């Protein structure tokens, strides 16, 4: 069969944070490789449904579609009312964007990719899923991603965090050192106050200076 048909309610759902936000991993569930596509649902009025961020590091052009409820988007400081059916197109990755739910059950579809290049799935999808697996399974999932993408500092850094959680001190330090070699500025910033690294905090401080 050359097509897939499913319903959002049939997909795995993962909680994100503590405000009732849920992530529906559409891309990985359907095996989509041409672009990123996921959905987010907020159970609470005022709950975050798109975290404040830019796509500058990934260079993604993005489209957000409100498929249920109502949201308020903030785009470079300007607010936008977005009832069901609203399409928000952000061609410029540097645009700072965020959104909160105005109605309970608000659901936003997010689609994105880099113009003119083959799509590579974002590492955060792996990290989100790994967070909800048993610790050893989470390490294995992130380690598999790192094997395929050995020079991604975020992937190496997160693998170090997952290894530290399961008391794999040697492995955690090796991954952290490699992440720091690839991108010392960002890794130094990420590591400050990250409780996942507390088991190897003294060594982390020595590495980052």
Read off the pLDDT of residues 51-86 as tens digits, 9 standing for 90 and up: 999 999 889 999 999 999 999 999 999 999 999 999
Predicted pLDDT of residue 20: 81
CATH number at residue 48: 2.60.120.10
Crossing angle of helices 153-165 and 184-191, in 10° steps, is 30
Same domain, 102 and 141: no
**Between 135 and 83, residue with greater pLDDT:** 83
Predicted pLDDT of residue 72: 98
Is the predicted pLDDT of residue 132 greater than 90, yes or no?
A: no
The C-alpha atoms of residue 119 and residue 138 are separated, in whole angstroms, by 24
Same domain, 64 and 156: no
Burial of 73 (0-12, 13-18, 19+ CB in 10 A): buried
Same domain, 181 and 135: yes
Same domain, 169 and 101: no
Same domain, 22 and 43: yes
Q: What pLDDT, in 10s, does the model give residues 14-43?
A: 988 777 899 999 999 999 989 999 999 998
Same domain, 56 and 133: no
Domain's final residue, options 114, 143, 167: 114
Please state, for a pLDDT cut of 70, what percent of the chain lies above it.
100
Is the predicted pLDDT of residue 1 greater than 70, yes or no?
A: no
Q: In the chain, how many domains are there?
A: 2
As a whole number of angstroms, the longest Cα–Cα distance in the chain is 56
Same domain, 105 and 133: no
Structural domain for 185, as ranges = 123-208
Same domain, 44 and 85: yes
Same domain, 98 and 186: no
């Amino acid at each position: 069969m050359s097509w897939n048909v499913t319903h959002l309610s049939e997909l795995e759902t993962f909680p994100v944070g503590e405000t009732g936000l849920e992530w529906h991993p559409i891309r990985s569930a359907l095996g989509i490789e041409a672009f990123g596509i996921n959905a987010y649902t907020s159970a609470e009025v005022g709950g975050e449904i798109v975290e404040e961020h830019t796509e500058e590091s990934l260079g993604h052009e993005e489209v957000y579609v409100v498929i249920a409820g109502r949201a308020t988007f903030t785009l470079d400081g300007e607010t936008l009312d977005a009832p069901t059916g609203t399409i928000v197109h952000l061609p410029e990755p540097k645009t700072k964007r965020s959104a909160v739910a105005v109605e309970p059950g608000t659901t936003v579809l997010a689609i994105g990719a880099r113009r003119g290049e083959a799509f590579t799935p974002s590492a955060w999808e792996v990290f989100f899923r790994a967070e909800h697996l048993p610790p050893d399974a989470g390490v294995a999932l992130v380690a598999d991603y790192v094997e395929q993408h050995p020079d991604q500092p975020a992937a190496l850094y997160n693998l170090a965090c997952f290894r530290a959680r399961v008391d794999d001190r040697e492995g955690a330090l090796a991954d952290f050192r490699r992440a720091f070699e690839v991108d010392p500025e960002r890794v130094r910033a990420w590591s400050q106050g990250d409780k996942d690294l507390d088991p190897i905090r003294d060594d982390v401080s020595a590495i980052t200076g």
